[in-house]
């Protein structure tokens, strides 16, 4: 598929779609070409107890940085080495035997070819992500990951687009295969991502961010609806927990439930909490992770914004957690 350079009257959205389709096709073709070399690369990196060094230059260098980062964050220690800086002292990063992943579309990148004899002195096995199987780099590599593309996505067939996407895809494929081979778990992932929203949802438990005690609107089934509205206004969490004398959860009343009650009843003075509460609501336990809470609230046809927190042993209602409590701007 080619993109016409005559874009004076073309729809930019159609151009963008064409680019994505060309790149998707390049990835599909790369997936079909995967062979035993991928298996060899996985086995090589699994057996090595040290780090992996990823190297490239230009756009391939940027892709290499991302691949190294993905490997490191999924259980395979990895660093990026700029191909030009390597021969000016940065080769000191190597420990003998550290495998190298070299990335080049042409396979004839001078800076990388200059490195190969030196890397051999470090007894570094060479994995090449390369777009030309007849290139000098491909001929000298121990393992080749085929990153050939039919063309780039731009109309001039010059800008690194399909080639960089394919190289990145092969790096991701290698990282995920290693991740699964190492039986890398979400707990391992959390250990490597302690900050930001991702770390927050993996590390923190519901008990650490939930609202409880006087911060929650607690009502009984017989509480008049007017008093429920007052309680929810004084404690604006978007819901009230309907409990019995033992704080067993009987139901929940959300802002939406109140609106529906007002729409269907002309006189709310006769209504009690039990008349408009949602019985048997979805709940979560305090020891669940914020990731679990997010899934319960968002991975459903109709999303919900608040969950009652219920003790897993006594089944007593302990409080509420809102989706807003999960997506906090502060870093941990």
The answer to whether residue 5 scores a pLDDT higher than 90 is: no
Average pLDDT for the chain:
91
Question: What are the residue boundaries of the structural domains of the chain, listed by start?
Answer: 12-184, 206-326
In percent, the amount of the chain with pLDDT more than 90 equals 77
Q: Indicate the DSSP class of residue 82.
A: E
Q: Looking at 171-175, 195-199, 264-268, which range is the least confident one?
A: 195-199
CA distances from 12 to 4, 25, 128, 140, 270 (A): 12, 20, 36, 43, 59
Single pTM value for the model: 0.72
Contact assessment for residue 295 and residue 304, using Cβ atoms and an 8 Å cutoff: no
The answer to whether residue 145 scores a pLDDT higher than 50 is: yes
Q: Which two tokens stand for residue 119?
A: 């890397």
> Residue 10: what pLDDT?
66
Q: Which residue has the higher pLDDT, 10 or 329?
A: 10
Element (H, E) at 128: strand 126-130
Which of 270, 283, 274 is CA-nearest to residue 320?
283
The answer to whether residue 15 scores a pLDDT higher than 50 is: yes
> CATH homologous superfamily for 206-326?
CBS-domain (3.10.580.10)
Residue-wise pLDDT tens digits, 30-66? 999 999 999 999 999 999 999 999 999 999 999 999 9
| CB environment 27-56: b (16+ within 10 A), e (fewer) | beebeeeeeebbebbbeebeeeeebbbbbb
Residue-wise pLDDT tens digits, 94-124? 999 999 999 999 999 999 999 999 999 999 9
Measured between alpha carbons, how far is 148 from 80 in angstroms, rounded to an integer?
22
**What would the CATH number be for the domain defined by 12-184?**
3.40.50.10490
Adjacent-strand bridge partners of 131: none
Measured between alpha carbons, how far is 266 from 151 in angstroms, rounded to an integer?
68
């Amino acid at each position: 598929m080619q993109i016409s350079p005559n874009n004076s009257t073309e729809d930019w959205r159609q151009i963008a779609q064409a680019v994505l389709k060309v790149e998707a096709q390049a990835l599909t073709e790369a997936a079909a070409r995967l062979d035993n070399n991928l298996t060899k690369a996985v086995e090589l990196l699994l057996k090595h107890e040290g780090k992996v060094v990823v190297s490239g230059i230009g756009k391939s260098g940027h892709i290499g940085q991302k691949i190294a980062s993905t490997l490191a964050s999924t259980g395979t220690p990895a660093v990026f080495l700029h191909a030009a800086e390597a021969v000016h002292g940065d080769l000191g990063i190597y420990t003998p035997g550290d495998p190298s992943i070299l990335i080049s579309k042409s396979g004839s990148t001078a800076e990388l070819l200059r490195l190969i004899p030196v890397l051999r002195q470090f007894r570094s096995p060479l994995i090449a992500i390369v777009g030309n199987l007849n290139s000098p780099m491909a001929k000298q590599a121990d393992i080749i990951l085929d990153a050939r593309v039919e063309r780039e996505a731009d109309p001039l067939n010059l800008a690194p687009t399909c080639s960089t996407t394919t190289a990145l895809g092969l790096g991701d494929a290698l990282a995920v295969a290693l991740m699964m081979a190492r039986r890398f778990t979400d707990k391992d992932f959390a250990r490597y991502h302690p900050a930001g929203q991702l770390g927050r949802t993996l590390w923190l438990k519901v008990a650490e961010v939930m609202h409880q005690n006087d911060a929650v609107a607690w009502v009984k089934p017989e509480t008049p609806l007017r008093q429920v509205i007052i309680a929810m206004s004084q404690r604006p969490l978007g819901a009230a927990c309907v409990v019995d004398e033992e704080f067993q959860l009987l139901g929940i009343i959300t802002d939406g439930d109140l609106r529906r009650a007002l729409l269907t009843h002309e006189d709310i003075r006769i209504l009690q909490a039990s008349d408009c509460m949602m019985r048997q609501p979805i709940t979560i336990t305090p020891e669940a992770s914020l990731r679990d809470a997010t899934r319960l609230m968002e991975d459903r046809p109709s999303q919900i914004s608040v969950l009652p927190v219920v003790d897993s042993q006594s089944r007593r209602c302990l409080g509420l957690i809102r989706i807003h409590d999960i997506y906090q701007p502060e870093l941990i």
